[in-house]
Amino acid sequence: MNPPQATLADVAARTDAAFAPSDGVRIGAEVEWLVFDRDDVTRHIDAADAARIAAGQLPAGGTVTIEPGGQVELVTPPHDGPRRLIDAIESDTTVLANRFAEQGLALVPLGLDPIRKPVRTLDVERYEEMERYFMEVSPAGVRMMNLTASLQLNIDFGSDPDTSWERAEVAAPLLAAAFANSPTTDGTELRPASHRMGIWAATDPTRTRPVGPDPADWIRYVLDARVIPATAADRFRDWLSQPTPPTIDDLDRHITTLFPPVRPRGYLELRMLDALPAPGRAAAIATVWAAMTNDEVGNVVVEACRAIDDPWRLAHEEGLANDRMHTAVKIMHAATAGWARSRDTQITDAVTSWSARSAVAKPDNLSNWLLDIAEAT
């Protein structure tokens, strides 16, 4: 029996379902780290070794997956608020970091590896296809797969998906700038912007550019994205009209290869945050929660971002070095700290300390700098 073929109606059904309302709001995370050998930071860590070391039950119920370049990813269950999520991450992280430390390895919360070349060590068909595609279309994609690490936050839409989506889309470049933690590509020059997001933006923009503030933009995004692996049609919308159209499985696989800064999946995936040390994680989780669940904070954040012309360009190219972006980020941090002050003093302290961080100085020794970062895992 032939597999069912996909139609435009199937695309519409899946993109509509991606904006599902929810009775309440929960938040979860996918926390990534780069893995380094403490004695030789240039050594690539094999994905199979990383998986073996990470294996075992974790106290807060998180699960571990391994990314193409051997990065470690902790996936949490959803939680009812930021404090529960922060505590769960720190509990599981302590156990994970100890497992790797016993093997002489360090989990480093940094958005971009500034030392090693991009080498895929995970043998999975999906990633093999993506690597072949990116080698032909965009070499930046190979670096994205193998050298980057992020903090992805997943949060329910709540009762009004349209408003939640628009707020997340508008706030996304401000969040990227506020929590940039990949200041260098090779240690020679540091700047207060996310080199990781710059690499993502250069990776086939048909699948990494922002979607747009209207939920209807998502179906156009899915249709206009290029196909992996390459077929007789370049874009998915063209493939639908080919003599041999895509199957439903092809459609579902295609959607998994799309990586915009904010992605709808029945909840919101916020993918613009670099991997962060513990204080930055707490501040980012609190900021996202407050902006998405509290109208007063959300409106302040949206207004601050809308006051900036071309915010994504500034976030990628200048980050906090740009006065307008820096001012908007300060406004967002102040709104979050104000929201947290009567609720959780530890979160307030995390937001305040992250907001006050100074520019990173050029390290005298890149290896030592990386291992110092590991101490804030």
Task: Domain ranges for the chain, please list them.
Answer: 8-356
Rg of the chain in Å (alpha carbons): 20
> What distance in Å separates the CA atoms of residue 104 and residue 231, rounded to the nearest whole number?
44
pLDDT band at 361 (very low <50, low <70, confident <90, very high): confident
- Give the Cα-Cα-Cα angle 374, 67, 223 (nearest 5 degrees): 130
User: Is residue 90 predicted with pLDDT exceeding 90?
Assistant: yes
Q: Minimal CA–CA distance to 117: which of 95, 96, 79, 145?
A: 145
The answer to whether the beta carbons of residues 137 and 204 sit under 8 Å apart is yes
Of 2-11, 68-77, 164-173, where does mean pLDDT reach its minimum?
Answer: 2-11
User: Is residue 358 predicted with pLDDT exceeding 80?
Assistant: no
- The proportion of the chain whose per-residue pLDDT surpasses 90, expressed as a percent, equals 88
Give the model's pLDDT for residue 373.
92
Give the model's pLDDT for residue 38.
97
User: Is residue 364 predicted with pLDDT exceeding 70?
Assistant: yes
Residues in the chain: 377
> What is the fold of 8-356?
Creatine Kinase; Chain A, domain 2 (3.30.590)
Tens digit of each residue's pLDDT (9 = 90 or more) over 189-216:
899 999 999 999 999 999 999 999 999 9
User: Is residue 362 predicted with pLDDT exceeding 90?
Assistant: no
User: Is residue 1 predicted with pLDDT exceeding 70?
Assistant: no
The answer to whether the beta carbons of residues 286 and 347 sit under 8 Å apart is yes
pLDDT band at 348 (very low <50, low <70, confident <90, very high): very high
User: Is residue 273 predicted with pLDDT exceeding 90?
Assistant: yes
pTM score, whole prediction: 0.96
